[in-house]
Amino acid sequence: MEKRMRHVFSAEGYSKSVLWAFMLIVPFAYVQYHFIQSSSKLLDWVIPVIVASLLGVLFGFLSKQITNHKKERALFKAVVDFSLEFTYVRTVEGEYEYVSPAVYDLTGYTPEDFYRTPNFMDAIIHPNDRGDWSHHVHNVNDDGLPEKVEFRILTKRNEVRWLEHLCGPIHDEQGNVLGIRSINIDITERKLAAESVERLGFYDPLTNLPNRRYLNNYMNDLIENSELTGGAKTFSVFFLDLNRFKYVNDAHGHSIGDALLIEVAKRFKKSCLDSKQAMIARFGGDEFVFVTKHSVTTDSVQECVSYINQLLEVPFRIQGYKLSIGGTAGVAVYPRDGLTPEVLIKNADAAMYKAKSQGLSMAFFSHEMTAHATEMVDLQSRLRGALNKGLIKPYYQPLIDLKTGEIMGVEVLARWVVEDGSIAPSPAVFIPVSEETGLIWALSEAMIAQAGRDIVAWQNDGVQMKYSINVSARQFADDNFCSQAIEQFERLGVDPKTVQIELTESVLLDNIDRSLEKIQELKARGFMIALDDFGTGFASLHYLTLFPFDTLKVDRAFVTNIIEDKRQFSIAKSIINLAHDLDLVVVAEGIETEEQRKVLFDLGCDIGQGYLFSKPVAPSFLTDLIAA
């Protein structure tokens, strides 16, 4: 159809042109014949006719060319004007012959801005990309080579936009460059998406700090640079673990914990650690790694750790909560403590655990720690296996009525029973490990299930006792703890009125309101509540007035030297009197001698517990003790 229309248009153009030529020539020929050359021959008519025909053909050709050019220009403009891409055509000298209207939406400038100013594109190129742009323009103008490049521009609104610039020369039939045509596509969203994906690969999405991958690459670069200088460059790796963060998560939930981590990261980034050229990465959970090329001596490392703790000691205010945390750091130095990122981080981690175990704020790595770290990993594996095999069993330590000397109850304690005759790990060792690894839930469930069966058996035999069960902070902080405990004891057939739940001050440390709600819920179902290890914390008196406790357990620290130390005697006496004034039953832990028992009895202590009466025993031994 398009070709046919072009042929019709061509025929009409020639006809019109020839007709106009005849209308101009024939009158002149007629006048010439009648008035000037009336005697001329037929040949005198032929010449004007031929001239008229040639002029008609010429006029027709020119008319066709002009019309076709206008039509093609109109079609080009119609197509390009409606395109979303910013398109332009310019001369080699930089004069713009056409600029599409889409330029305004993309740059904020109008086509007229380009028409008025040759090489106007040069002015809106981002400063950091002008070198690449100049090189590109040179290639296209001088070499006549088409190119596709990506660069940034600054819009009239001073926004940064990314463009994909498709550019190539316009040639005439002889191959000469007549001008340059270009299509510019907005790829800002694609670039931002790619940068976001790349950032996710190297940065922690929560804190926006570098992640493990970034950390590993950064340390590899430091090691490579050190090797190039003959190992002359050294650096330190700090493995930092936040203290008390677990309690924040347990007491307030992970959303508060995440918000706290964000604020911690902000403090790190706003501090002068950056000016000291320290790279800070989030390793995972509440663990951070600092890499610094300056703090490598003992004094400078201690100064750096002290500064980190100063940053953390100022309380954080998160959604109405005032949260206080600290940090414990382990330090490994390259190349003394390792030659790869993996080894350096592992050794710094081992030093951190050593510092925690000793109650220190920091510790340098020593090669003896490697064996300790290996032991901890082995202990986790063994503990998991022991739980699967049922080797963690309940043992029972009698609670003695100091007035009658009779067993009035027992405390349920976890013991690891080994089958091969090897030494069993202490509860002081495997219980903290179970809390750190999350195995505390499986351990607690196994303990309650086994103890529940023993309790039911004793109840069926007519034995009436109280059973005290310890609950960790991590368990108690779970929102489902109360419902799970109630359901589990009901399923086992254990009367809640015979069960006393022991809580330490750390369990109640953060979310007091929620802790109070849980205690009230448990007491409403018949459970008794005891405050364990009383006197070792810093807010015990406040808790005594706030929480509806039934029992107060005096920590063994006030019993051990109660005879020799008058101050301990006075403190124990005051605690017992205070508890009685609050209608609380008093239990003294750690009684090992008859003298201690007598002094506590004279002070009015209600119940005694300790090796003087019995060590923790298996269920069968407890049955014998009850029968005796």
- Residue 197 domain-assigned (yes or no): no
The token pair that represents 214 in the structure block: 């970034």
* CA 85 to the chain's CA centroid: 38
Spell out, as residue ranges, where the chain has pLDDT lower than 70: 1-84, 143-145, 230-232, 250-251, 272-277, 295-296, 357, 370-374, 421-423, 436-437, 509-511, 536-540, 542
Alpha-carbon span 567 to 483, nearest angstrom:
43
Provide the CATH number for the domain around residue 618.
3.20.20.450
- What pLDDT score was predicted for residue 5? 32
Q: Are residues 527 and 609 in the same domain?
A: yes
The tokens of 63 are what?
């008319």
Residues 446 and 320 in one domain: no
pLDDT for the residue 479: 74
Distances (CA, A) of 459 to 399, 401, 453: 17, 19, 10
Q: Are residues 437 and 541 in the same domain?
A: yes
Contact indicator for 156, 108 with CB cutoff of 8 Å: yes
Residue 273 in 3-state DSSP?
coil
Cβ–Cβ < 8 Å for 244, 325:
yes
Q: What percent of the chain has pLDDT over 90?
A: 36
Preceding peptide of 335 cis, ω within 30°: yes
Are residues 235 and 339 both part of a single domain?
Answer: yes
- CATH of residue 236's domain is 3.30.70.270
Domain boundary, last residue among 32, 47, 80: 80
161: β partners: 153
> Domain boundary residue among 80, 107, 139?
80
Residues 578, 581: Cα–Cα separation, whole Å: 5
Q: What is the pLDDT of residue 441?
A: 80
Q: Is 173 helix (H, G, I), strand (E, B) or coil?
A: coil
Contacts of 80-84 with C-beta under 8 Å, sequence gap 24+, read none
* CA 450 to centroid of chain Cα atoms: 40
Q: Strand pairing of 392-401 and 407-416?
A: antiparallel
pLDDT of residue 81: 55
Q: Contact 553/589 with Cβ under 8 angstroms?
A: yes
C-alpha 87, offset from chain centre: 42
pLDDT at residue number 20: 54
pTM over 0.85: no
Domain count, the chain: 4
301 and 235, same structural domain?
yes
Q: What is the pLDDT of residue 254?
A: 85
SS3 615: coil
Can you give the pLDDT at residue 4? Answer: 30
The pLDDT assigned to 9 comes to: 36
Domain span holding position 177: 86-192
> Residue 287 has what pLDDT?
93
Classify residue 371: in a domain, yes or no.
no
* Dihedral sign from CA coordinates of 293, 295, 298, 301: negative
Please give the Cα distance from 575 to 583 (Å, whole number): 12
The DSSP bridge partners found for residue 148 are 166
Residue 158 φ/ψ region, left for φ over 0, alpha for ψ in the -120 to 50 degree band, beta for the rest: left
Distance CA 477, CA 251 (A): 5
Residue 226 lies in a domain: yes
* CA-based R_g, the chain, Å: 45
Q: Are strands 235-243 and 528-534 parallel, antiparallel or unpaired?
A: unpaired
Other C-beta atoms within 10 Å of 120: how many?
19
> How many other CB atoms are found less than 10 A from the CB of residue 240?
26
* Residue 419 to residue 424: CA distance in whole angstroms: 9
Residue appearing with tokens 């704020």: 361
β-pairing, 607-608 with 585-588?
parallel
DSSP notation for 485-550: HHHHHHHHT--GGGEEEEE-GGGGSS-HHHHHHHHHHHHHTT-EEEEEEETSSS-HHHHHHHS--S
On whether residue 172 sits in a domain, the answer given is: yes
240 and 169 inside one domain? no
